[in-house]
């Protein structure tokens, strides 16, 4: 991971439109991430971030709980949402072909991309053909996933993020740490400093007297972004949903920047993961109730933009849709794992996760952090890297994520399943030897009783005294006392009291 190699390049740009150098290249990628426990240890020590995350996750958590409780039968709605997604995923090829037909019939151009490289090449080629050197972007997880901004920059095109939080991340030469709120790890004082320091290098500078008042910060962002909206010839988006029947793409957002990007430019390119397809228009009804309540904790999001191909004289006159696989059909092939493809990227699971709340998103080594990231990344990317192998273990299996998920993804079940895969692929290790030995002991009461004798001998030695350190058990005893073993097990007591006769 390089810290920010192009930071210097980003600030020595000239003045005037498009003389601004690309900025996104300064965002370090996740390649070479250490395994989760190590990355987490560093994040845990960041006091400011701990406080920011605690405050933000608890605020959204409480808002969500409140608006979910208002719904008469939230559980029925969850089932409806999960069913719609399952129907689409079970017959994915059919619905994708239907989507392509509908889109094409409405004047959109459909492209198919097997992986990130193919998708990026398609988008770069379209942008190059338009002879532009900048694009405006709607907040989109899938373009973060494929690192489209970096690909555009390599082709000499600046990709301007226009979502407020993405803008903060981009200007801060940072990485997103949350699905919905990418700058959740920053507080407003830090944001003010980033705006003052960075905005001038890539466009309209922040006002010199900028304070950390949220209204002033939003105003600074608005002014900075407006000139980019007015100028851009090409917009790039993802999509929250893609309706197969009608060929309608849907973007759900809060700030209105998405609406600007989706309507002002002449050309619109939308990169859409193949799991975003919904069979019918009717399926949107459950989704549009589930998503805002689960993500921002609102009854309805402020802006919902829907577009169906090209409409003459209204909005972009050239509409491209890139349908992306990038590991999704691999996930689909797994009977248990495929439920992760139901995810609508609401981030409810992040906001309720006690692990995420303390480590933040960066430790997960992906644009998909938190519980859903812990199950999605090892499936999409495989388990070849340290980080992806460690992600299924980055959970206490407390189950809060499953309860919060609007499309009923059983994340704890999936985590356990993926742990099995990691074990299988790792071959013999010290851990597997220990686990096999434990299984051997536990599979026979006589063996268990023999092993228990060792514990009671230790119990007699410690004599009930508090155990504060045990060689080899530092991971436990560094910060926790260890319970002192008893001098007699329950089994021994029972036999002493009731005899050796089995019931």
Partner 1 sequence: MSPAARRGDGPRVALFATCFNDTMWPGTPKATVRLLERLGCRVEFPLQQTCCGQMLTNTGYAAEAVPLVRRFVDVFGDYDHVVAPSGSCVGSVREQHPMIAKDDAALSSRVAEVAPRVLELSEFLVDVLGVTDVGAYFPHRVTYHPTCHSLRMIRVADRPLQLLRAVRGIDLVELAGAEECCGFGGTFAVKNADVSIAMGSDKARNVLDTGAEVLVAGDNSCLAHIGGVLGRQRSGVRTLHLAEILASTEEHPA
Binding footprint of partner 1 on the chain (CB under 8 A): 36-37, 40-41, 44, 354-355, 358-359, 392-400, 402-403, 413, 416, 419-424, 431-432, 435-436, 438-439, 442-445, 448, 451-452, 455, 466, 468, 475-476, 478-483, 485-486, 488-491, 493-495, 497-498, 500, 502-503
Task: Output the smallest distance, CB 421 to partner 1, in A.
Answer: 8
Token pair recorded at residue 93? 């090829």
Q: Which is nearer to partner 1, 47 or 215 (CB)?
A: 47
Task: Output the smallest distance, CB 78 to partner 1, in A.
Answer: 15
Tokens 């026979």 belong to residue = 444
Task: Output the smallest distance, CB 202 to partner 1, in A.
Answer: 36
Q: Which is nearer to partner 1, 209 or 500 (CB)?
A: 500
Task: Output the smallest distance, CB 383 to partner 1, in A.
Answer: 11
How far, in Å, are 13, 121, 192 from residue 22 at the CA level?
Answer: 9, 18, 21
Task: Output the smallest distance, CB 419 to partner 1, in A.
Answer: 3
| Closest C-alpha among 88, 106, 96 to residue 307 | 106
What is the DSSP secondary structure assignment for residue 465, as one 8-state letter? P
Q: Which is nearer to partner 1, 214 or 474 (CB)?
A: 474
Task: Output the smallest distance, CB 272 to partner 1, in A.
Answer: 33
Q: Edge to edge, what strands does the sheet with 248-253 contain?
A: 277-278, 241-243, 248-253, 303-307
Handedness of CA 248, 253, 259, 262 (dihedral sign): negative
Describe the crossing of helices 445-462 and 430-442 by its angle, rounded to 10 degrees.
110
| Closest C-alpha among 357, 298, 273 to residue 64 | 298
Task: Output the smallest distance, CB 446 to partner 1, in A.
Answer: 10
Measured CA to CA, the distance from residue 361 to residue 350 in angstroms comes to 9
Inter-residue contact 25 to 10 (CB < 8 Å): yes
Task: Output the smallest distance, CB 230 to partner 1, in A.
Answer: 46
Task: Output the smallest distance, CB 455 to partner 1, in A.
Answer: 5
Q: Which is nearer to partner 1, 281 or 493 (CB)?
A: 493
Half-sphere exposure of 159 (CA within 13 A, CB side): 29
Q: HEC string of 268-337?
A: EEEEEEHHHEECCCCHHHHHHHHHHHHHCCCCCCCEEEEECCCECCECCCEEEEEEECCCHHHHHCCCCH
Task: Output the smallest distance, CB 357 to partner 1, in A.
Answer: 9
Q: Which is nearer to partner 1, 256 or 483 (CB)?
A: 483
Q: List beta partners, residue 251.
A: 305
Task: Output the smallest distance, CB 375 to partner 1, in A.
Answer: 14
Q: Which is nearer to partner 1, 243 or 407 (CB)?
A: 407
Q: List beta partners, residue 335.
A: none
How far, in Å, are 9, 10, 27, 28, 175 from residue 4 at the CA level?
Answer: 10, 10, 6, 6, 11
Q: Which is nearer to partner 1, 34 or 156 (CB)?
A: 34
| Burial zone of 242 (CB within 10 Å; 0-12 exposed, 13-18 middle, 19+ buried) | buried
Token pair recorded at residue 476? 């436990």
Q: Which is nearer to partner 1, 77 or 394 (CB)?
A: 394
Count of C-beta atoms within a 10 Å radius of residue 217 = 20
Q: Which is nearer to partner 1, 246 or 379 (CB)?
A: 379
Residues across the chain: 503
Q: Which is nearer to partner 1, 14 or 498 (CB)?
A: 498
Q: Which is nearer to partner 1, 18 or 423 (CB)?
A: 423
């Amino acid at each position: 991971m390089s810290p920010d190699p192009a930071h210097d390049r980003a600030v020595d740009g000239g003045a005037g439109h498009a003389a601004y150098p690309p900025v996104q290249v300064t965002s370090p990628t996740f390649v070479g991430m250490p395994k989760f426990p190590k990355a987490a240890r560093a994040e845990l020590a960041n006091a400011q971030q701990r406080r920011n995350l605690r405050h933000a996750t608890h605020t959204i958590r409480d808002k969500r709980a409140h608006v979910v409780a208002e719904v008469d039968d939230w559980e029925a709605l969850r089932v409806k949402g999960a069913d719609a997604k399952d129907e689409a995923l079970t017959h994915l090829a059919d619905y994708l072909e239907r989507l392509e037909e509908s889109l094409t019939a409405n004047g959109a151009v459909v492209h198919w991309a097997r992986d990130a490289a193919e998708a990026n090449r398609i988008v770069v080629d379209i942008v190059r053909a338009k002879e532009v050197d900048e694009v405006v972007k709607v907040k989109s997880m899938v373009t973060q996933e494929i690192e489209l901004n970096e690909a555009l920059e390599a082709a000499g095109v600046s990709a301007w993020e226009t979502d407020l939080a993405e803008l903060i991340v981009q200007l801060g030469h940072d990485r997103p740490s949350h699905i919905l709120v990418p700058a959740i790890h920053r507080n407003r004082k830090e944001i003010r400093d980033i705006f003052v320091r960075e905005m001038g290098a890539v466009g309209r500078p922040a006002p010199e007297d900028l304070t950390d008042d949220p209204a002033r910060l939003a105003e600074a962002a608005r002014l900075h972004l407006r000139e980019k909206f007015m100028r851009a010839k090409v917009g790039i988006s993802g999509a929250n949903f893609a309706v197969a029947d009608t060929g309608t793409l849907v973007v759900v957002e809060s700030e209105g920047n998405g609406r600007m990007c989706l309507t002002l430019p002449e050309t619109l390119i939308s990169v859409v993961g193949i799991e975003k397809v919904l069979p019918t228009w009717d399926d949107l009804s459950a989704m549009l109730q589930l998503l805002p309540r689960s993500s921002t904790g609102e009854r309805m999001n402020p802006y919902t933009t829907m577009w169906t191909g090209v409409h003459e004289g209204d909005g972009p006159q050239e509409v491209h849709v890139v349908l992306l696989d990038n590991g999704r059909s691999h996930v689909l092939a797994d009977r248990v794992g495929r439920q992760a493809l139901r995810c609508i990227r609401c981030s409810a699971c992040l906001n309720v996760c006690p692990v995420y709340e303390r480590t933040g998103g960066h430790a997960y080594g992906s644009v998909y952090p938190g519980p859903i990231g812990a199950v999605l990344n090892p499936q999409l990317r495989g388990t070849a890297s340290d980080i992806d192998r460690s992600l299924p273990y980055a959970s206490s299996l407390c189950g809060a994520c499953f309860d919060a998920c609007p499309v009923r993804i059983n994340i704890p079940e999936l985590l356990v399943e993926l742990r099995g895969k990691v074990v299988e692929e790792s071959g013999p290790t010290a851990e597997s030897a220990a686990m096999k030995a434990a299984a051997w002991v536990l599979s026979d009461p006589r063996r268990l009783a023999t092993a228990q004798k060792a514990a009671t001998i230790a119990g007699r030695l410690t004599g009930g005294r508090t155990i504060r350190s045990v060689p080899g058990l530092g991971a436990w005893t560094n910060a926790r006392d260890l319970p002192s073993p008893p001098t007699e097990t329950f089994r021994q007591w029972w036999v002493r009291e009731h005899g050796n006769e089995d019931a």
